[in-house]
Each structure stands twice: as structure tokens, then as C-alpha cells.
């Protein structure tokens, strides 16, 4: 059985990574949508750099939780039959041991040079405008997909969805497209669909089955079911 798992901020919530739309969802009084745009970067690059620099620095203080670990255990068991498509820019899937992860919204630990377009692994701050290791020009931006930009890996994701027998969504509010539409794409190609989320999402009605609860409990229990 081929399985495609879509993850969102909710899978990392129990690790201590804040979600976008729960609670107040604000950062220093800014709506997240107001710092995660090309326009914000053009007008206030220092604010945008600080926002992502803080998040990148915070990564070292968080650990994968049982939901990430369970998905890594599933990959150990079924290998290439599992692909994770994540909207998250943290590295918790990889640190739990998953290797087949498509980061459709980019990664905190990566920087993108606006001059030479190189993508380089980056774990330090960007606010101090360091030179690009590839071309030397100080034009590095966070390698994340902002509102209005095209997500990464879309053709590959379409293939994963088309081949999936089961599509599972974990910890995402269904507020942001195209990820919110993946359930319909997977269904169109004939997959069964399952949602695991703390609360009812914007797209819960589109799933064959929807289970409510914490990812740290629901995901290990579901993986146990799959592995029988
Ligand atoms: N277990 C399971 N689900 C949880 C948990 C938990 N412990 N905690 C919160 N959730 C659920 C919430 O109920 C909510 O539906 O996770 C979802 C988080 O939703 P969002 O904060 O909107 O995050 P996400 O869906 O990943 O956002 C999509 O929006 O700003 C952009 O690029 C950003 O990738 C992000 C995208």
C-alpha cells in the first residue's frame, strides 16, 4: 500500500514549535501573513530576517515528538511506499529519521541567494547580511516559500498523490492552498483519505474519515494499525 502523508504545523506543536493559526498567532504584534510575503521583505527586510532568525535559532531547543517518530518508524517498515509532504519549515521529520520528506514551503536551515540563486544549508542568522558562500554577494534570504510564491516540488507531489492508495493529513488547518486541496487531488486519483487533527479543519468534510486528537497520540496509534 502506498501512503502519502501531508503534515502541517500541528504535528510539531507538541514539540513546542508554535502553530500559525492557533491561539493569538501573532509575532511581536504582526500577523504571520504580514511577515511571510515578498512585499514585507522588500519594505522591511530586517523585520522578516529577525522573524526567521528567531525561528531558526529556536530549532535547536526542540525535539521530534512521538508523531514524527512514528512516521519514521513507518518509513523503516515500508520504505519507498511512504512519502511525507510537509508544509513545515522545521527539520523535525529528518531528526526523527524520516528521509523521504518533501518540504513544499522550504526549510529554515536553508538560505536562497537572490543574486546567484544558489540554495545553501544555513543554520546561523541572516539579519547581519552575510555573503553568499557561492557568489559572495550579501543577498541571502530565507529559503522559505512566502505567500504569493510558488511552493516547491509541486510536480513531484502530484505524482505522489496520484500513486497513493491512502492519503493522510496531520495537523494542518486546511487554510492554505495548494496543500489544502491535496485531499481532493488524492481522492480524484482514487486514494482513501484520513485526517488526524486536534480540531475540525476547514477541509474535514472532504475526508472519508477524520479523527480528532493530539498528533502525538493519533499518529503512533494509526501507524500501529497500518503495521498491524
Ligand atoms: N495535534 C494535532 N493537530 C494540532 C495540534 C496537535 N497537538 N495542535 C494544533 N493542531 C492543529 C490545529 O487544530 C490546526 O488545525 O494543527 C493545525 C495548525 O494549523 P495552522 O497553524 O494553520 O498551520 P498549517 O496548516 O501548517 O499552516 C499552513 O500556513 O502560514 C502558512 O506557510 C505557513 O505552512 C504554513 C501554512
Residue 14 Cβ contacting ligand 1 at under 6 Å: yes
34 and 11: one domain?
no
78 and 178: one domain?
yes
Among 117, 144, 171, give the residue marking a domain's end. 144
39 and 87: one domain?
no
50 and 26: one domain?
yes
184 and 115: one domain?
no
174 and 94: one domain?
yes
For residue 174, give the CATH number of its domain.
Answer: 3.40.50.1220
- Residues of the chain above pLDDT 70, percent: 97
Question: 140 C-alpha to center of ligand 1: Å?
Answer: 27
Catalytic residue among 93, 103, 105, 153: 105
C-alpha cell at 144: 522559505
Nearest CA to ligand 1 atom 23: 9
Ligand 1 atom nearest to CA at 174:
25
Q: State yes or no: pLDDT of 13 exceeds 80.
A: yes
Q: How high is the pLDDT of residue 25?
A: 61
Residue 172 Cβ contacting ligand 1 at under 6 Å: yes
Q: What is the mean pLDDT of residues 64-68?
A: 98
C-alpha cell at 86: 510537509
Q: How high is the pLDDT of residue 219?
A: 99
125 and 213: one domain?
no
Q: Which of 23-27, 147-151, 214-218 is the least confident region?
A: 23-27
Q: How high is the pLDDT of residue 24?
A: 60
The pTM of the full predicted model, rounded to 2 decimals, is: 0.97
Question: 219 C-alpha to center of ligand 1: Å?
Answer: 15
Q: What is the pLDDT of residues 28-42, one digit of tens each?
A: 677 777 789 999 999
Among 126, 144, 162, give the residue marking a domain's end. 144
Q: What is the mean pLDDT of residues 72-81?
A: 98
115 and 56: one domain?
yes
Q: How high is the pLDDT of residue 27?
A: 64
Supply the DSSP symbol for 146: P
| 105 is an active site residue | yes
- 8 Å CB contact between 61 and 213: no
Rounded Cα–Cα distance for residues 124 and 171 (Å): 28
Q: State yes or no: pLDDT of 26 exceeds 70.
A: no
Rounded Cα–Cα distance for residues 138 and 147 (Å): 23
For residue 132, give the CATH number of its domain.
Answer: 3.30.1600.10
Range of the domain at 165: 3-17+63-105+151-227
Per the structure, how many domains does the chain have? 2
Q: What is the pLDDT of residues 181-228, one digit of tens each?
A: 999 999 999 999 999 999 999 999 999 999 999 999 999 999 999 999
Rounded Cα–Cα distance for residues 181 and 161 (Å): 11
Q: What is the mean pLDDT of residues 122-127?
A: 98
Q: How high is the pLDDT of residue 186?
A: 98
Q: How high is the pLDDT of residue 23?
A: 64
54 and 125: one domain?
yes
99 and 206: one domain?
yes
Residues β-bridged to residue 193? 167
Among 119, 144, 169, give the residue marking a domain's end. 144
Q: What is the mean pLDDT of residues 106-121?
A: 98
Higher pLDDT, 54 or 32: 54
Written as one string, the DSSP assignment of the chain is: --EEEEE-HHHHHTTT---SSSTT-EETTEEHHHHSSHHHHHH-HHHHHHHHHHHHHHGGG----HHHHHHHHHHHHHGGGEEEEE---S-HHHHHT---EEETTEEEEEEEETTT--EEE--S-STT-PPPTTT--S-EEEEEPPTTSPPTTHHHHHHHHHH-SEEEEES--S-STTGGGHHHHHHHTT-EEEEEESS--TTGGGSSEEEES-HHHHHHHHHHHHH-
Residue 198 Cβ contacting ligand 1 at under 6 Å: yes
Higher pLDDT, 65 or 26: 65
36 and 139: one domain?
yes
129 and 190: one domain?
no
Task: Output the CA torsion sign for 75, 55, 10, 158.
Answer: negative
Which of 19, 67, 179 is the pocket-test mutation for ligand 1 (most atoms within 8 Å of CB)? Answer: 19
Ligand 1 atom nearest to CA at 20:
21
Supply the DSSP symbol for 149: S
Rounded Cα–Cα distance for residues 63 and 159 (Å): 31
Q: Which of 73, 163, 149, 40 is nearest to 104 (CA)?
A: 149
Rounded Cα–Cα distance for residues 112 and 81 (Å): 31
Amino acid at each position: 500500500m502506498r501512503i502519502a502523508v501531508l503534515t502541517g504545523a500541528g504535528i510539531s506543536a507538541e514539540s513546542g514549535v508554535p502553530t500559525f493559526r492557533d491561539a493569538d498567532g501573532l509575532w511581536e504584534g504582526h500577523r504571520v501573513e504580514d511577515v511571510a510575503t515578498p512585499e514585507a521583505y522588500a519594505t522591511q527586510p530586517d523585520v522578516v530576517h529577525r522573524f526567521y532568525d528567531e525561528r531558526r535559532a529556536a530549532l535547536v531547543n526542540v525535539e521530534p515528538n512521538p508523531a514524527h517518530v512514528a512516521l519514521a518508524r513507518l518509513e523503516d517498515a515500508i520504505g519507498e511506499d511512504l512519502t511525507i509532504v510537509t508544509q513545515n519549515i522545521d527539520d523535525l521529520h529528518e531528526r526523527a529519521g524520516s528521509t523521504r520528506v518533501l518540504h513544499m514551503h522550504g526549510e529554515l536551515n536553508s538560505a536562497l541567494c537572490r543574486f546567484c540563486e544558489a540554495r545553501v544549508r544555513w543554520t546561523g542568522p541572516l539579519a547581519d547580511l552575510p555573503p553568499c558562500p557561492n557568489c559572495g554577494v550579501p543577498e541571502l534570504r530565507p529559503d522559505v516559500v512566502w505567500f504569493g510564491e510558488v511552493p516547491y516540488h509541486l510536480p513531484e507531489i502530484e505524482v505522489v498523490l496520484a500513486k497513493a492508495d491512502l492519503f493522510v493529513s496531520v495537523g494542518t488547518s486546511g487554510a492554505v492552498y495548494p496543500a489544502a486541496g491535496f485531499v481532493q487531488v488524492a481522492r480524484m486519483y482514487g486514494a482513501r483519505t484520513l485526517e488526524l487533527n486536534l480540531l475540525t479543519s476547514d477541509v474535514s468534510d472532504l475526508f472519508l474519515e477524520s479523527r480528532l486528537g493530539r498528533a502525538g497520540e493519533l499518529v503512533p496509534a494509526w501507524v500501529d494499525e497500518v503495521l498491524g
